[in-house]
Homo-oligomer: A and B are copies of this chain.
Amino acid sequence: MTAMIRPRSISGMQELLPTEQITFNHYKDIVRKHFELTGAVPLNTSAFELREVLMAKEESNNTSSIEKQVYGVHRIANEHNETNFALRFDLTVPMARFVAQHASKLIFPFRRYQIQPVWRGERAQAGRYREFIQCDIDVIGDQTLNLINDAELPIIIDGIFKDMNIGPFQIHMSNRKLLGGLLLGAGIPANSITNALRLIDKIAKVGQDEIRKQFFQLYRLKDNQIDLIITYTSLRGPVDEVIDKLLTLVEQNHKANETYKVGIKELTTVSEIVYSLGLTSKTFILDLSVARGLSYYTGTVYETTLTNHPALGSICSGGRYDNLVGLYSNRKLPGVGMSIGLTRLISHLMHKGLLQQAKPSIEPVLIIVFNHSYLGRYLSIANRLRQAGIATEIATEQTNISQQFKYANRKGFRLAIIAGEKEFINGTWQLKDMTTRKQIVVNNSKLVETINKMLAC
């Protein structure tokens, strides 16, 4: 026998107690249900990717912040041999790789959902996870992809967060063409647009003054150019209001270029469809400070905030990417997607005590073991209930009845079934409602029906 090993888990890798996991699964099931209702098919990719595939974006991407966090894997037995494997850090890159690889076998538009963990070598810190569950939905078109897909995603997401019932939230939408065109018009060189967009993405965090300073230092913009950028990216509000202001600004700004105009048009089309479907400014607004840090976005971009939890940041983000699959394929396969960071969201709300905690049991019925020599018969009752779809457990370990009832209370069972010699002979059951403590006698033939009725209350 080896010496005892102290059992420990790894910081930044959340592990939930059963009650918490039941709660978590409840929210995960809501996401899956909504994704499937809109016709998305499931995609699961392997945890490992070839490094060169995973890092395809690296050279063209100045921030290697994600790349620094990537985990490599190799067999311990060959510890010092090079391997070419690494763990996925998001679900978008594996999806793009999968689509490029299997394009000939997929039916386009390919609408997939993917709910899997991803891994990042984050430093241990509250709210930072090294393993977390992402819930992604994306639509990939062949050659073209109608803008209606950009409008449909926020509606799906709206449905999910409403169903989750986790308080008021707001989806913020913007457009990278509009922002890119604006920056170009304001004098930023074409090859610096992505970095400038990242600056804008930081306004909320570092403040306008800092952004002004940086726009001057990095790009030598004039005051009026910086003013223009700040004015635009401060636009935020109901669709009509923001679109009106944008159109006015176009008239004032004679240098407005084509990209910029296309951006306004896309933003208008998408947001009009969203509003026409009943979403209001309570849950959906335009917000031109949303730029997204990732370089692959090319049009619509989204972020979602929980109104009562601004510090959480965006709980669901995404956007339109016209060239991502192009890293792996010559075929033009434009896409749009959104992603919910479920681990962070649920664990935050859980710690704040804002989620209705599940009971520490999945099943509602406990069978009391009145006489241990009848264990087989109790198991037979359990089977009968389970076959009728009623989740049931048998109290096999507690030696006396009062311990069994204590267990029933602690684990939160709704009903207890008590049966002994007398009941077996009479073909009846004692049914106890654990909440009201009322106990009734039920005939064998009515057992399932009666339990279903009591559970429905």
Show the binding face of A for B, using Cβ within 8 Å: 1-2, 4-10, 13-19, 21-22, 25, 34, 36-53, 56-60, 67-77, 79, 85-87, 97-98, 100-102, 105-112, 117, 119, 121, 130-131, 141-142, 144-146, 148-149, 151-152, 155, 159, 272-273, 276-278, 326-330, 360-363, 375-376, 379-380, 382-383, 386-387, 389-394, 396-397, 407, 410-411
* Residues in chain B near residue A390, CB distance under 8 A: 37
* Residues in chain B near residue A102, CB distance under 8 A: 17
Whole-angstrom distance between the alpha carbons of A110 and B410 in the complex?
A: 13
Q: How far is the CB of A19 from chain B (nearest CB, A)?
A: 8
B361 touches A148 (CB 8 A): no
Partner of A42 from B21, B57, B85, B101 at Cβ < 8 Å = B21
Q: How far is the CB of A225 from chain B (nearest CB, A)?
A: 28
B327 touches A37 (CB 8 A): no
Partner of A39 from B43, B77, B361, B383 at Cβ < 8 Å = B361
B44 touches A21 (CB 8 A): yes
**Which applies to chain A's interface (DSSP): helix, strand, loop or mixed?**
mixed
A51 touches B25 (CB 8 A): no
Residue of B nearest to A84 (CB): B10
- The verdict on A100 contacting B7 (CB below 8 Å), with A2-B57, A392-B38 known, is yes
A37 touches B386 (CB 8 A): yes
Whole-angstrom distance between the alpha carbons of A38 and B394 in the complex?
A: 9
* Residues in chain B near residue A407, CB distance under 8 A: 107
- The verdict on A327 contacting B4 (CB below 8 Å), with A149-B396, A276-B376 known, is yes
B277 touches A383 (CB 8 A): yes
A376 touches B277 (CB 8 A): yes
A151 touches B379 (CB 8 A): yes
* Residues in chain B near residue A151, CB distance under 8 A: 376, 379
